[in-house]
Amino acid sequence: MEKFKKFSGIVAAIDRPNVDTDAIIPKQYLKSIKRSGFGVNLFDDWRYLDPGAPGESNAERRINPDFVLNKTPYDHAQILLGRENFACGSSREHAVWALMDFGFKVVIAPSFADIFYNNSFKNGLLPIALSPTLVDQLFAELEQQQDYRLDVDLENQLVTNAVGFEMPFEIEDFRKYCLLNGFDDIELTMQHADHIKAFEAQYYKKFPWL
């Protein structure tokens, strides 16, 4: 996993609560056996007017001119602003892969669905939960300024903008440590292999039917 570095990015907003993972990446694209290439089908049902199929080119499909990610400068946005319960629904990690493949590095919302929140960290996508009031404020500022940018500093847990606005955010220490260093969870857990084996020895003695 790549190390998460401080960056400044364009913000794109999707102003609806309960955006689900079926909307982020529709099921037909889950047939892929790869981790890459999902970006062109991110928000597929909203982004295109014609239906799409996996393995088919998107070049011939009519794009929805009203959808935010089809407009400049949001077509190269790196921060997604959303509403409550962002990415609820299925466990598909493809939702994270699609967001990252498109170019997103951060998602800001008042709340996230648990599985998506977990999946994000495993891939280097940073989900930032801010209060509904702050998120409202960001939506309002974005409406005023088309190429609205935010700076994200994970080390200091701060979201800032050009006019000196500063919003601290919470993140668990372990997740922050892994993101900053680009650590692979499996490698970290394997360091405890002896511990797991010792656990198993007593566990199966106690529960012989398992």
Q: What is the DSSP letter of 93?
A: T
Residue 91 binds another protein (CB under 8 A): yes
Q: What is the DSSP code string of 137-148?
A: HHHHHHHH-TT-
Nearer to another protein, 36 or 72 (CB): 36
Nearest approach, Cβ of 88 to another protein (angstroms)? 6
Amino acid (one-letter) located at 47: R
Residue 186 binds another protein (CB under 8 A): yes
What is the arrangement of strands in the sheet containing 126-129, beginning at the earlier edge strand? Answer: 126-129, 106-109, 79-81, 7-13, 149-153, 158-160, 166-168
Which residue in 28, 64, 137, 161 binds another protein (CB under 8 A)? 28
Residue 157 binds another protein (CB under 8 A): no
Nearest to 159 by CA among 113, 101, 84, 106: 106
Residue 96 binds another protein (CB under 8 A): yes
What is the CB neighbour count within 10 angstroms for residue 28?
A: 15
Taken as a whole, the chain contains a residue count of 210
Contact between residue 37 and residue 21 where contact means Cβ atoms under 8 Å apart = no
Residue 15 binds another protein (CB under 8 A): yes
Which residue in 60, 133, 156, 209 binds another protein (CB under 8 A)? 209
Residue 201 binds another protein (CB under 8 A): no
Amino acid (one-letter) located at 38: F
Which residue in 10, 12, 69, 88 binds another protein (CB under 8 A)? 88
Residue 118 binds another protein (CB under 8 A): yes
Which residue in 3, 6, 71, 195 binds another protein (CB under 8 A)? 195
Contact between residue 126 and residue 4 where contact means Cβ atoms under 8 Å apart = yes
Residue 5 binds another protein (CB under 8 A): no
Residue 172 binds another protein (CB under 8 A): yes
Rounded Cα distance between 147 and 149, Å, is 6
Q: Which residues bind another protein (CB under 8 A)?
A: 15-18, 20, 22-23, 26-28, 30-35, 45, 51, 54-55, 83-85, 88-93, 96, 111, 113-115, 118-119, 122-123, 172-174, 185-186, 188-190, 192-193, 195-196, 199-200, 203, 207-210
